[in-house]
A and B are shown apart, each in its own frame.
Chain A
Amino acid sequence: MRGPSIAHIVLVIAVLATVPLLTTSNVVLNFFTVALLIALVGQGWNVLGGYGGQYSFGHAAFFGTGAYVSAILQMRYGVNAWIAFALGLAGGALVGAAIGALTFRSGLKGSYFALVTLAFAEVLRILASVAPITGAGVGILITLDLRPQAFQFQSRAPFYWIILALVAASLVIVRLIERSRFGAWLVAVRENEDAAQAVGVDTARVKLAAMTISAAITAAGGGFYVQYFLFIDSGIAYGPWISIEALLAPIVGGIGTVFGPLIGALVVKTLGELTKLIAGDAPGLDLVIYGGVLVLIVAFAPYGIAGLLADLRVRFARLRSSVPERAHG
């Protein structure tokens, strides 16, 4: 399949790695850190939605689980922060597998799948808002402990490089999927499930695997969020905001591509910042812009920015070539 090579990925990561060296502004660094976080969460969504064609509207379920598991293990059970992070990732993956097993077994697709994932996220949100273990309405505060062993740092740069490393890993994972048999099966499921089954694809298993991987990647984002912001509550963990950003980034950047979520996250976050600059900090305005962007992208650029770039490349190639188009048959 067409797509970037490992070399391309290394190059992009290398360029991004220089950001903390080029600026001392915490504002800029924070912007990029959050953008990379959304890129990670979006890449998770991309595996299931972009490549698998199953649009989840409730990816918050995995983000929040990654965050809460990590926070609870650290604060209530004294588990080391890094181990808690890893277990948070595992917890998110498990939730993904559970939801996937239930929904795909029932053959839910399309709108029904989107609705059910939304419902699961909402159920978790409500539970988290009342359960004592998640701190109920108050949430969980991570105790300040600025040591690397505690997955906290004096300066912002190490956070940035960690999220960059996570994003890099996610890019490599998706690239590997793209070139594997599993990846071929996954897009077959997206394109036509019946036809896929007819040539031996176990569509239920493939979807479940995709869901689990997707959930794991997104949960990693949740775990990172908790370390970076040191606070989590039910609205942040399981709220619609993260479910929407999780799908917006890949759709804007290029659904079903390796770099799509990264491009999309940077664009979406830039738009968010611009909105704040122009119209101030009022709640809800950035989401208005995001919703509008979603509609516009679907209407005018369904393959996102990556799609637009690919279009340009094709048009450019046609201009240069003098061979007329052959008839198909």
Chain B
Amino acid sequence: MAEPLLRVERVFKRFGGLLAVDNVSLAVEAGRITALIGPNGAGKTTLFSIISGFLPPSEGRVFHRGADITGMPPHLLARRGIVRTFQIVQPFAGLTVHENITIGAHLSRRSRAEALAAAAEVASTVGLGDFLDRPAASLTVAGRKRLEVARALAAEPELLLLDEVLAGLNPTEVATMVPIIRALADHGTTILMIEHVMQAVMSLAEHVFVLAEGRIIAEGPPQVAVGDPRVVEAYLGHGAAARLSAAGGAHV
């Protein structure tokens, strides 16, 4: 089998006495949408930070196209095509929407005119085309999430790490974002997403990893992974799986 685009190999992360990531190994295939789910505090964002270079692992390696990228700083990883968004959005608050996205576009473009033009295009893809000259700080939560995605997109990533990009959005807003994400994957961008919004995970992801207490407890196609009794337990508590199947069918 061909080398996956991203491979995480036996990664541990300790913060003092706390083991946030416990022997995690996973592989992300190119061109697919992979989801990383699990209860709060499971270590998902920590894992993202390790993959994207913001945190070094205590143990273990990360490989990109077979090359060891463990511990490489974020800006070098971005230049390799690995770009992340942040769970708590991090806009360039003092700049306009257009300027925000342009900074992403500058990753592969030196010319300001080119970067501005590319940024405008990306903006319309995510539906921010009419808000180019607005200050980023004036956007709503949904707008800022879109800005976060747009800025990352403008950097033309090969692997896009989306950290809870749908959190805090109402159902309509979610329904607008999902096709945008699918379109990205259709265009060839590999996506690894942390998500809590299950409907999105079910409809978007081709492969799911479930993380609980720092450990991968299940993986597979969404329906399979989500139906796994261990996953149900992780979300709903000990004994829940048994209770649910006794009540007739497990829905998450």
Cβ-based interface call for A311 (8 A): no
Instruction: Count residues of A near B (Cβ-Cβ below 8 Å).
Output: 24
B91 touches A200 (CB 8 A): no
A193 nearest CB across to chain B (Å): 10
B172 nearest CB across to chain A (Å): 11
A199 touches B104 (CB 8 A): yes
- Given A1-B99, A201-B103, does the pair A191, B78 have CB atoms closer than 8 Å? no
The residue that A184 contacts in the complex, of B73, B86, B103, with Cβ under 8 A, is B103
The residue that A181 contacts in the complex, of B54, B112, B134, with Cβ under 8 A, is B112
B44 nearest CB across to chain A (Å): 17
Task: List residues of B (111-149) whose CB comes within 8 Å of A's CBs.
Answer: 111-112, 115, 130-131, 134, 138-140, 142-143
Cβ-based interface call for B84 (8 A): yes
Bound complex: CA A196 to CA B139 (Å): 19
B67 nearest CB across to chain A (Å): 17
Please indicate which of the listed interface residues A181, A185, A187, A196 has the most CB atoms of chain B within 10 Å of its own CB.
Answer: A181
Bound complex: CA A192 to CA B151 (Å): 13
Cβ-based interface call for B182 (8 A): no
- Given A196-B103, A199-B152, A328-B138, does the pair A179, B92 have CB atoms closer than 8 Å? no
Cβ-based interface call for A145 (8 A): no
B82 nearest CB across to chain A (Å): 9
Task: List residues of B (34-54) whose CB comes within 8 Å of A's CBs.
Answer: 52-54
Cβ-based interface call for B189 (8 A): no
Q: Which residues of A contact B110 (CB under 8 A)?
A: 181
The residue that A197 contacts in the complex, of B73, B95, B138, with Cβ under 8 A, is B73
Bound complex: CA A328 to CA B141 (Å): 10
B115 touches A184 (CB 8 A): yes
Bound complex: CA A195 to CA B74 (Å): 10
Cβ-based interface call for B79 (8 A): yes
Q: Which residues of A contact B52 (CB under 8 A)?
A: 198
A191 touches B83 (CB 8 A): no
Cβ-based interface call for A237 (8 A): no
The residue that A188 contacts in the complex, of B85, B103, B139, B140, with Cβ under 8 A, is B103
Q: Which residues of B contact A196 (CB under 8 A)?
A: 75, 92, 103
- Given A184-B106, A192-B90, does the pair A198, B74 have CB atoms closer than 8 Å? yes
A192 touches B91 (CB 8 A): yes
Cβ-based interface call for A30 (8 A): no
**In the complex, per-residue mask of A63-87: 1 if CB is within 8 Å of any chain B CB, else 0:** 0000000000000000000000000
A329 touches B92 (CB 8 A): no
Cβ-based interface call for A203 (8 A): yes
Closest to A181 in B: B106
Bound complex: CA A196 to CA B109 (Å): 15
Q: Which residues of B contact A181 (CB under 8 A)?
A: 106, 109-112, 115
A179 touches B151 (CB 8 A): no
Cβ-based interface call for B188 (8 A): no
Q: Which residues of A contact B83 (CB under 8 A)?
A: 198-200
Please indicate which of the listed interface residues A196, A202, A329 has the most CB atoms of chain B within 10 Å of its own CB.
Answer: A329
B62 nearest CB across to chain A (Å): 16
Bound complex: CA A185 to CA B110 (Å): 11
B143 touches A197 (CB 8 A): no
B73 touches A192 (CB 8 A): no
Closest to A178 in B: B112
Cβ-based interface call for A281 (8 A): no
Q: Which residues of A contact B234 (CB under 8 A)?
A: none
The residue that A202 contacts in the complex, of B75, B112, B134, B139, with Cβ under 8 A, is B75
Q: Which residues of B contact A199 (CB under 8 A)?
A: 78, 83, 103-104, 107, 151-152, 154-155
B92 touches A187 (CB 8 A): yes
- Given A195-B86, A197-B78, A198-B83, does the pair A328, B115 have CB atoms closer than 8 Å? no
Closest to B134 in A: A328
Cβ-based interface call for B66 (8 A): no
22 contacts between A and B (CB under 8 A): A184-B102, A185-B106, A188-B92, A191-B92, A191-B94, A192-B91, A195-B91, A196-B103, A198-B83, A198-B84, A199-B83, A199-B104, A199-B151, A199-B155, A200-B78, A200-B107, A202-B76, A203-B75, A326-B130, A328-B143, A329-B131, A329-B139
Report which B residues bind A (CB closer than 8 A).
52-54, 73-76, 78-79, 83-86, 90-95, 99, 102-104, 106-107, 109-112, 115, 130-131, 134, 138-140, 142-143, 151-152, 154-155
The 4 closest A-B pairs by CB, nearest first: A200-B78, A191-B92, A195-B90, A200-B107
